[in-house]
Amino acid sequence: MKRLLLKGSLWALIMGLTLTSCKDPEVTEQRFLASATPQTTLYTLSEEGEILEAGTFLRGTEVTLYPNCSEKRGEERFYKVLVDGATFYLPEGSLSLDRRGAVREEAVWVRTPATLIADPERSTIAGFADKNAKLTVVGYDSLRHDGTVATYRVNHNGTEGYIYSKYTVFTPEEAALRYKADLYDPIHKAVRNSFGGGAAIGCDFYPVEKPTFENNHMPTACYSLYLNSGTGVLRNIESYIALAKESKINTFVIDIKDNESPGFKAEAMATYSPTNHKRAGDKEELYRKVVSRLHDEGFYVVGRITCFKDSYFVKDNPQCAITERATGEPFKHNKAYWPSGFDRRVWEFNVALAKESVEKFGFNEINFDYVRFPDRMTRVEDIVDYHNRYGESKVQAIQRFVQYACDEIHKVGAYVSVDVFGESANPGYTTAYGQYWPAISNVADVISGMPYPDHFSNGYYGISKPWNNPYDILYQWGLRVQERQNVTPTPAVVRTWVQAYNVMRHVDRNGIAYDAENVEKEIRGLYAAGLTGGYITWLASSNIEKYRQQLGAFQKDYYADWKAGEN
């Protein structure tokens, strides 16, 4: 790709330049192109002596300067330079003594609301910059091969921090734009905020570049077994490997932290939540062995972390919790205490734990669960305080957490998947707990719905006893997922949790058992709807005997069958 961009037929003028002020043309110095944008404007001198724009070239490029050969036009002096073998003129302000000085932005504007990072190594958070905010540039990290900056150091209303340049633009007019507003805005404006989760139009839908890592290949379809962090489960890893090798299973999802069930004594826990650290087992070597063995056998390994349901974190950080307005005490919901999804310290904790787990054990991917606010809260909204510092809606906060988590975890070479309730695939409204499918899918690498058949009420989607009709309910759900994916500019891979436990007795005492046949029906329903990213078994106990009973479902290559048109 040519880096030199010339205007019109000006190349002919370049070759016939005449100098009117060149005292010593043999003297040269080395300089670097500088600009407030990735491209530096080049000029040429016409036969009539006019300085004309000739095109652009990447800033940071080393050029040869003729310091004694220049032309003055008005108050500005243009110096002769040699750029990639051709002669041009540049104002002195477009030249730098070193490559570091090539970046001349004094300010940038926020196009996509973004987290300001205090310490890029530790992913700590300095603050938040909303759309249209003007940021004063005080530095940057590095200049990329295309002339863009990777990360700016900025000042925002007295707060200094780093922001990824991909979320910024060079003018307020650009910042005010929404991505393909004519196409997408009517879609998201039509989505109702029926339950207080927030307006869909308040989320950001600029395309997000999904990463690929040279030494970390995500299978096209992940056929996944879930393992909890129990010592008995992890120490029995050879049995799970043997079972998987009798099937098409190529992925394991292993708990790192569940609510009141931390897996190992992580440094992140010692820093952010000593109670999680105290209650965690001395299992670091066991985790290292388990992940290593799975990698040795060729499996893709995912670490699962619950985020905004964490009673131990709340015990250590009550100021970060959802609290009762009347007492100021943490609010207990569904037998647990919930850190607020608006609180940046809990964001930091879960991302720090994720990065540590990747770096220590080599997880290929981090799966975040409970990336939401508590459900069934509509009747108590007026008596709780979420401590919403930045005035965000719930759907905005959840999308922004996922954005922050992806940015930081990608830096250590791992993918990010996010679990969502099956309900979030429904059209027409945002959920009360802040999960809006297109907003999450647009940002995450993988989105994992949890459409367990026994979580659907009788008659849902017109299906009698959905829990007894796993194919039908998953197929109908999958069609709705496809509709959500179709209005997402850069949709995530869809890899779905499937019910691997028997129908709960409080749902139906006479419900069917989830054996190999019924688990297979679930997965077939997903693939028939075009959701081809794979599945994850949800069996909280991780009981290997139950998995053995379901082995027939795991022996099918659903993706190959789908390609062959057999689903």
> Has residue 15 got a pLDDT over 90?
no
- Are 352 and 480 in the same domain? yes
> How far is 303 from 316, CA to CA, in rounded Å?
24
- Are 216 and 283 in the same domain? yes
- Are 169 and 217 in the same domain? no
> How far is 505 from 467, CA to CA, in rounded Å?
11
The amino acid at 389: R
Strands 261-262 and 251-258: antiparallel
CATH of the domain at 155: 2.30.30.40
> Has residue 541 got a pLDDT over 90?
yes
- Are 225 and 167 in the same domain? no
Which residues are CB-contacts of 270 (< 8 A; sequence separation ≥ 6)? 277
Residue with tokens 């066991």: 286
Domain hosting 41: range is 5-102
Running DSSP on this structure, what letter comes out for residue 27? -
> How far is 473 from 539, CA to CA, in rounded Å?
19
Judged by DSSP in three states, 31 sits in: strand
- Are 56 and 21 in the same domain? yes
Q: Is residue 190 situated within a structural domain?
A: no
Closest CA to 33 of 6, 57, 7, 53: 57
Residue by residue, DSSP assigns 546-564 as HHHHTHHHHT--HHHHHHT
- Are 346 and 217 in the same domain? yes
Half-sphere exposure for 213 (CA within 13 Å, toward CB): 17
> How far is 480 from 530, CA to CA, in rounded Å?
11
- Are 61 and 138 in the same domain? no
Running DSSP on this structure, what letter comes out for residue 460? G
pLDDT, one tens digit per residue, over 323-378 is 999 999 999 998 999 999 999 999 999 999 999 999 999 999 999 999 999 998 98
- Are 21 and 159 in the same domain? no
> Has residue 313 got a pLDDT over 70?
yes
Q: Is residue 358 situated within a structural domain?
A: yes
> Has residue 9 got a pLDDT over 60?
no
CATH of the domain at 490: 3.20.20.80
Q: Is residue 194 situated within a structural domain?
A: no
Q: Is residue 14 situated within a structural domain?
A: yes
Q: Is residue 495 situated within a structural domain?
A: yes
> Has residue 16 got a pLDDT over 60?
no
Percent of the chain with pLDDT over 90: 92
Mean pLDDT, residues 109-134 taken together: 98
- Are 119 and 89 in the same domain? no
> How far is 364 from 362, CA to CA, in rounded Å?
6
- Are 146 and 256 in the same domain? no
74: left (phi over 0), alpha (psi -120 to 50) or beta: left
Running DSSP on this structure, what letter comes out for residue 16? T
CA distances from 83 to 45, 64, 87, 91, 440 (A): 15, 7, 6, 14, 45
Closest CA to 495 of 300, 214, 215, 220: 220
Running DSSP on this structure, what letter comes out for residue 97? S
Distance of CA 534 to the CA centre of its chain: 20
> How far is 98 from 30, CA to CA, in rounded Å?
9
> Has residue 62 got a pLDDT over 90?
yes
The amino acid at 319: Q
Of 144, 177, 210, which residue sits at a domain end? 177
> How far is 30 from 22, CA to CA, in rounded Å?
17
Which residues are CB-contacts of 233 (< 8 A; sequence separation ≥ 6)? 227, 240, 542
**pLDDT value for 492:** 98
**pLDDT value for 311:** 98
pLDDT, one tens digit per residue, over 39-50 is 999 999 888 888
Domain count, the chain: 3
Residue with tokens 């479902």: 553
> How far is 338 from 328, CA to CA, in rounded Å?
14
> Has residue 21 got a pLDDT over 80?
no
pLDDT, one tens digit per residue, over 254-301 is 999 999 999 999 999 999 999 999 999 999 999 999 999 999 999 999
Of 102, 119, 142, which residue sits at a domain end? 102
Question: Contact 95/319 with Cβ under 8 angstroms?
Answer: no
Percent of the chain with pLDDT over 70: 96
Running DSSP on this structure, what letter comes out for residue 49? S
- Are 76 and 163 in the same domain? no
Long-range (24+ apart) CB contacts under 8 A made by 509-516 are 511/454, 511/465, 511/467, 511/468, 512/467, 512/468, 514/470, 514/550, 515/549, 515/550, 516/549, 516/550, 516/551, 516/552, 516/553, 516/554
| Average pLDDT for the chain | 95
Q: Is 379 exposed, middle or buried (0-12, 13-18, 19+ CB in 10 A)?
A: exposed
pLDDT, one tens digit per residue, over 101-117 is 999 999 999 999 999 99
What pairs with residue 281 in β-bridges? Answer: 264
Mean pLDDT, residues 546-550 taken together: 98
- Are 536 and 553 in the same domain? yes
> Has residue 5 got a pLDDT over 80?
no
Q: Is residue 192 situated within a structural domain?
A: no
**pLDDT value for 126:** 98
Of 82, 102, 122, which residue sits at a domain end? 102
**pLDDT value for 2:** 34
pTM reported for the whole predicted model: 0.94
